[in-house]
Chain A
């Protein structure tokens, strides 16, 4: 019976690596676009030309113009910077903090573990975007506040993952060996446990960038994130809604940009997961 066949399917491996390759290529491209934004954009993203408002896509304005006559193509190019910056910053902070707490929690067990895990429970007690929404809403809309709101709500995923891995690792013989050699706890955590957790962390971080970008654009879309006139995709989408009927391109292009970026990171993350360790439980990595 075909479905009960346990052997590794080479075709699947190739397919997944191809996924990672496609995802990776798009991510590299987006990074280049973000860096070279001022060279690549044909117009100034802030320049308003009211005589050119709401133009459909044409030769001079590939993606048309918005309600203030700004070039949507140029604004999208500059928008790459904000989404990538938020994604990378949030994931950088949360991966660092979450991983440290996870290792300490799993390695020390006892009361410290108990305290950290209860804090994790409490943060996860608020569903999805709600806590981030409220934090951003109360702090007020700005780039920094979006990063704060997302960082405060995203770290528990790493802590849970790393704690679980640490609990298994600490029972292994090589840790016993290190202890017998009188290595300090910090040394064991840093040199023996962390390197063994790093692959799943990379996978989670890649998928989490996608997640952070969705959340950040959602906050801007609700008007609680980055504010106009900043060319951020979520706020561009919001600004296009009043013109949705007559000029759907105002919302269509930013929406597609968000989707493609998120898809690229998900591709890369999924591909990496299957390449690095197919045994990583997918459940842990499905976004919370």
Chain B
């Protein structure tokens, strides 16, 4: 298992380097001269050539790209992501301030999605091809097909505008968190339900289930002791996928509900053409995602004996 974990860690290291390269390139992807782009963000549209040259020299755009990259990496390794082009706030500080909001939203959404998806997926698999199964799967397909910005608007319309029960935007107490978390949680639940069901069905078709049945175990024991335990493994593997969906979803949901997390920071920075901040957010999200995936892989290794006893 150690070999497996070391291999994972090596891969994450590699992915993180890739993430820094992609993130660094985003700045150079912008049409036109990056020095000019920064100068516009800093001094406005009325630019003199001197101002652009000044930015070029101070930001180091006159040196070759790989030197710029290495310089940037050196700063990043010292947790220095630079300053916002618009507000000149420290980027990492700004992200850390926003982090709790995103974290709250993500965790509650994950909890909501699991609370819906796992029971529904199990019932659906056990009652395969019954009316219940068809209903659950139709609902799940509808959920997969509903963009979360549309679901968010529908919930606002129902709970805020029509029923006047919950606030439609803002940050503060728990009430503000309910609608964003339900939006993100239910759209995630749709995917997880389908995964749980198909994973349950896979396990139900295994020979060891037939053995358990031949031993004369009752259905409940088989389901709880044999099926569920094995069926949850793929669901955990895809927790990585879920976290990706979650992080992507927060961007849209935070924007709709004016929830001051990292996703909204990213979108607002794109609007403001604050590329330094965009770069910081993307780097942060990319690295966060890489490490949560690593964590998922390691948890998986502990849970799955097939990996645990490999090469020991």
A-to-B contact residues, CB < 8 Å: 1, 3-4, 6, 9, 11-12, 15, 118-119, 121-131, 133-135, 137-140, 210, 214, 217-218, 221-224, 237, 241, 244-245, 248, 251, 255, 258-259, 262-263, 266-267, 270, 282-283, 286-288
Contact = CB atoms under 8 A, between A and B. Distances in A.
Contact of B194 (A125, A126, A282): A282
Contacts of B244: 124, 127-128, 288
A222 B255 contact: yes
Contact of A125 (B134, B147, B198, B289): B289
Q: What is the predominant secondary structure among interface residues of chain B facing chain A?
A: helix
Interface string B186-210: 0000010011001100001100011
Contact of B14 (A118, A131, A287, A288): A118
Interface string B203-242: 0110001100100000100000000000000100010010
Interface stretch (B24-32, B40-48, B67-75): B24-32
B252 A214 contact: no
B144 A237 contact: no
B289 A127 contact: yes
A284 to B, nearest CB: 11
Nearest to A133: B251
18 contacts: A4-B209, A15-B134, A122-B18, A125-B22, A130-B247, A139-B29, A139-B30, A221-B147, A222-B252, A223-B271, A244-B157, A251-B153, A259-B146, A259-B150, A283-B238, A286-B191, A286-B194, A287-B144
A129 B30 CA distance: 19
A4 B14 contact: no
Nearest to A246: B161
A15 B141 CA distance: 14
A129 B248 contact: yes
A121 B278 contact: no
Given A12-B129, A244-B153, 13 more contacts: A15-B129, A119-B18, A121-B14, A129-B248, A129-B251, A129-B252, A134-B270, A138-B29, A139-B30, A218-B149, A244-B161, A245-B161, A282-B195
Interface size class of B (residues with CB under 8 A): 35 or more
Given A118-B14, A129-B252, A6 B205 contact: yes
Contact of A126 (B19, B195, B267, B271): B19
Q: What is the predominant secondary structure among interface residues of chain A facing chain B?
A: helix
A263 B142 contact: yes
Contact of A137 (B18, B270, B289, B290): B270
Given A1-B213, A122-B22, A263 B282 contact: no
A122 B150 CA distance: 30
Interface in B267-299: 267, 270-271, 275, 278, 282, 285-286, 289-290
A245 B30 CA distance: 38
A259 B289 CA distance: 29
Given A126-B19, A138-B26, A286-B191, A262 B147 contact: yes
A137 B31 CA distance: 11
A123 B198 CA distance: 27
Contacts of A125: 15, 18-19, 22, 286, 289-290
B245 interface: yes
Contacts of B14: 118, 121
A276 B125 CA distance: 21
Nearest to A137: B270
A118 B16 CA distance: 11
A221 B145 contact: no
B285 A130 contact: yes
A122 B15 contact: yes
Contacts of B157: 244, 248
